[in-house]
Structure 1
């Protein structure tokens, strides 16, 4: 039986940071386990390869959620990364930390040590900023390269300028003193290639003899003796294997898989476990509860102009055929795009009317602008040109669950986002669609003007927009919260140690510990969790 001091389950945004920090001590052995495989594919490395990753079962878990009762009983795919780097190997590479009040809100919920003043130095430590942005907010000596897109499509700048029509100034740094405004996003890239958590934190230390990496390894359950984890049961390339933990097991498997492993191991709500025929080892009723995610909408416009990214006769010679040569020779051209090069944050009418200084008065919607036509019919590709704005609810009040399916496998999960359960979320997104339309109505877009294919000009009233949203909204792939930290009875981990309640040597360090969803993309905040968690372990052993 293989034996290690520390076993880290999940080589994603958080797990790779933890592996880097723990293996800096040559006296301990660390095993980093990943259910997926290599990240060496050009689809992963080249930014524009994103289109070949979502829904690709080699790199994506392709979970499917349960029917959403507030969205006309639709189901939706829940894309999560399954490769070295986890979801940071398949995401859009946008570098956003969230709003300062998000972290202060965590502290106010009993998460001591997680205020904005506490986390800012940690973000700076992780970052190798290439943009010359303020040292008050950014670090330059970390491992994670943060830069601007190599060769952004000019239509992204049109979107930024159009924001003035909606009262939104240009914002050159969403991670500084304010989120409000539109701009070109910072991205996690190095030399025009994707910078995942794996390439930033693990690849540079592969020569450390105390680091072992196991890929194609699915963790089925933990082996528990009283209040200690002694190891785990896994399948390596389909073959059963046991792995022993001498010190600790650290779950970094993400918001869907971390609670799945806990529940399969008998850690969760006692009544629910008994109903599944699973012996309850620790009664922790919050496991799998509190699922939160950004619910998202789309406004998409057809255009006869070929200024945007798209397949047409007009773009064949200047862009499509030369793209690989431009990319390999000088990291220019269409292969450099992450598609959501521009975007930003805005306040709807609801935020404007909220009490000044309160969290509700912060920007409550985020835009992801894509300089290409996104199909109103759900197709992955559409011939021709256009542009699209995706708008999401930043701080949703609706919460769902991740539960084990009652099928005897202990592997399958029921993912219920419970989107739109809270009426406030519905109102915010309706207002968000109206705000997106307001931006696109700017004269800046006159030279690209075309037909709005979705929602479509026939959908105008709040009631019509809401019904459109019920038929079309999706997730932005930012799930958090299912193993939340805190001090209330539904908390799963202690915020000062990230240890699971009742367990001595079992911790969770990933987005699932976030008690509330941060206002933005969740990859960088997940790395924050990994860094802070690793320091908790190191300080205990100092």
Structure 2
């Protein structure tokens, strides 16, 4: 059996950070296991190339949720990164930290060290923000954050103006003093390339002799001896191998893979494990439970003016944009499609925004089979504005369906399963129409295409968002942090309750879902998690 000090399972957003920081002082041997392969692929590196990765099994787990009554029985597609960088290598690159109150809620739930002041210090330490350092932004860290102010479609300015006319003022920095308002998103893009966790944290660390990265190495189970995690069994190159950890095993596989691996290792709901013929080492029904995710949909309009459809649809436009990107590193291929966005409250009773907006100067009502058609939009001038809920109250779960580690787990989202979530989404889609009805945008609109002007009643609007909604790819909380083993999986130091030498550090460890995109807080958890591990190693 091979040996190392620390084993990290999963080279995703948190895992890459853990590998960097745990190997930094040179005193520890660190081995990182990744089921996928290299991120050195053209469409991974090209920012808008993520549309080509949406259904690509070479870099994507291609999960599917169970049929969901809240989505009128549909099975939602759940892409997750299976590549160095994990989902940070296939996502839309939006950098949102979350609201101050989100993290104060984490600490108030019994998790000392995870309040806003502490996580703000971590964010500032890991970032190098193009906009410069201030009370909220950091500079000098390994992760470059683009301010994303240049090269945007001209309609972004009119969208922001329409939001102001609708009562949602301009916000120059969603990661600053307040999140509420409309504006442009900061991006994990550096130069012409995606700035994933692999690029920012892992590749620089791979030069160190004390860090070993094993790709195409899928973890099968955590080895537990006498109540302590002592290693990992994994499959690589058709062979089953074992790796012993002299110090600790850290799971960083994300909200789907981490609870799956715990369950396969005998840590999870006892009745389920027995049903699968697995030994019950630790009966904890919270493993895989409390699944939280943001759900949303797009409204789409046909426009009187040119959108990206006109240049990204025809072959000659693709060729021209490709040349622009390759020669000068510019154009729409060098950006995410979510140029603008915002956060708003559906009613004044909320003490903080509960909805997120996404402005996209293109449309894809006529998708091509097997591809998220970011590079093949509609054959007319279209524009989409999307939204998603920030703090849904619906909860789902992740459960293995077989003792076979290669079998996908069952993912039950339970979208819109509470009256509160339905009521808030109904108010949100009405506000979306209100934005587009303002003079700054209405002058450019020819007609609403989805859901269309015939959809007006509350019942019809609800039916529409049940039919057309889906995840916005932020699953979290399935190994959630908390002081009580009766209601959580790990403690505030990310240690698995009841098993020594085992931690979980990724989006599954969130005590509750933050408002906004989850890549930034997942990276932050990896950063702070490494600090905790190194403190405990002294």
Normalising by structure 2, we get a TM-score of 0.95
Where structure 2 has 5 or more consecutive residues not aligned to the other structure, the ranges are none
Instruction: Show the counterpart of 1:18.
Output: 18
Output aligned runs, 1:32-431, within 5 Å.
32-132=32-132, 135-149=134-148, 150-306=150-306, 308-311=307-310, 319-349=317-347, 352=348, 354=349, 360-375=350-365, 380=373, 381=376, 382-406=378-402, 411-431=407-427
Q: 1:316 to 1:385 in 2, by over 3 A?
A: farther
Q: 1:237 to 1:442 in 2, by over 3 A?
A: farther
Q: 1:314 to 1:230 in 2, by over 3 A?
A: closer
- Cα deviation, 1:204-228, whole Å, max 9, x if unaligned, reads 1221000100111111111111211
State the aligned residue count.
Answer: 530
- Cα deviation, 1:100-131, whole Å, max 9, x if unaligned, reads 00001111111111110111000000000111
Give, in angstroms, the shift of residue 245 of structure 1. 1.4
Give, in angstroms, the shift of residue 475 of structure 1. 0.2
Q: Distance in 2 between matches of 1:60 and 1:474?
A: 18
Residue 527 of structure 2 corresponds to residue 537 of structure 1: no
Residue 473 of structure 2 corresponds to residue 491 of structure 1: no
Q: Distance in 2 between matches of 1:246 and 1:52?
A: 41
Which of 523, 530, 538 in structure 1 is aligned with 2:519? 523
Q: 1:264 to 1:160 in 2, by over 3 A?
A: same
Q: 1:376 to 1:518 in 2, by over 3 A?
A: farther
Give, in angstroms, the shift of residue 384 of structure 1. 2.6
- Residues 404 and 410 of structure 1 are in contact (CA less than 8 Å); yes or no, is this contact kept in structure 2? no
Output aligned runs, 1:445-464, within 5 Å.
445-464=441-460
Q: Distance in 1 between matches of 2:367 and 2:123?
A: 40
- Cα deviation, 1:384-424, whole Å, max 9, x if unaligned, reads 32111111110000000000114755732000011111111
Give, in angstroms, the shift of residue 268 of structure 1. 0.8
- Match of 2:248, SS state, is strand
Instruction: Show the counterpart of 1:466.
Output: 462
- Cα deviation, 1:468-520, whole Å, max 9, x if unaligned, reads 0111110000010000000231210011x211011110000000010110000
- Residues 276 and 408 of structure 1 are in contact (CA less than 8 Å); yes or no, is this contact kept in structure 2? no
- Match of 1:398, SS state, is coil
Q: 1:30 to 1:378 in 2, by over 3 A?
A: same
Deviates more, 1:221-230 or 1:375-384: 375-384
Q: Distance in 1 between matches of 2:416 and 2:403?
A: 28
Give, in angstroms, the shift of residue 320 of structure 1. 3.4
Q: Distance in 2 between matches of 1:534 and 1:283?
A: 27
Deviates more, 1:240-249 or 1:3-12: 240-249
- Residues 226 and 281 of structure 1 are in contact (CA less than 8 Å); yes or no, is this contact kept in structure 2? no
Give, in angstroms, the shift of residue 378 of structure 1. 8.1
- Residues 157 and 184 of structure 1 are in contact (CA less than 8 Å); yes or no, is this contact kept in structure 2? no
Give, in angstroms, the shift of residue 377 of structure 1. 6.7
Instruction: Show the counterpart of 2:440.
Output: 444
- Cα deviation, 1:510-542, whole Å, max 9, x if unaligned, reads 000101100000001001101111001111122
Q: 1:186 to 1:283 in 2, by over 3 A?
A: same
- Residues 220 and 405 of structure 2 are in contact (CA less than 8 Å); yes or no, is this contact kept in structure 1? no
Q: Distance in 2 between matches of 1:487 and 1:335?
A: 45
Instruction: Show the counterpart of 1:357.
Output: none
Q: Distance in 2 between matches of 1:247 and 1:287?
A: 23
Residue 28 of structure 2 corresponds to residue 28 of structure 1: yes
Q: Distance in 2 between matches of 1:94 and 1:81?
A: 16
Normalising by structure 1, we get a TM-score of 0.95
Q: Distance in 2 between matches of 1:131 and 1:117?
A: 21
Q: Distance in 2 between matches of 1:311 and 1:401?
A: 42
Over aligned residues, Cα RMSD in angstroms?
1.7
- Match of 2:71, SS state, is coil
Q: 1:459 to 1:538 in 2, by over 3 A?
A: same
Where structure 1 has 5 or more consecutive residues not aligned to the other structure, the ranges are 355-359
- Match of 2:70, SS state, is coil
- Match of 1:321, SS state, is helix
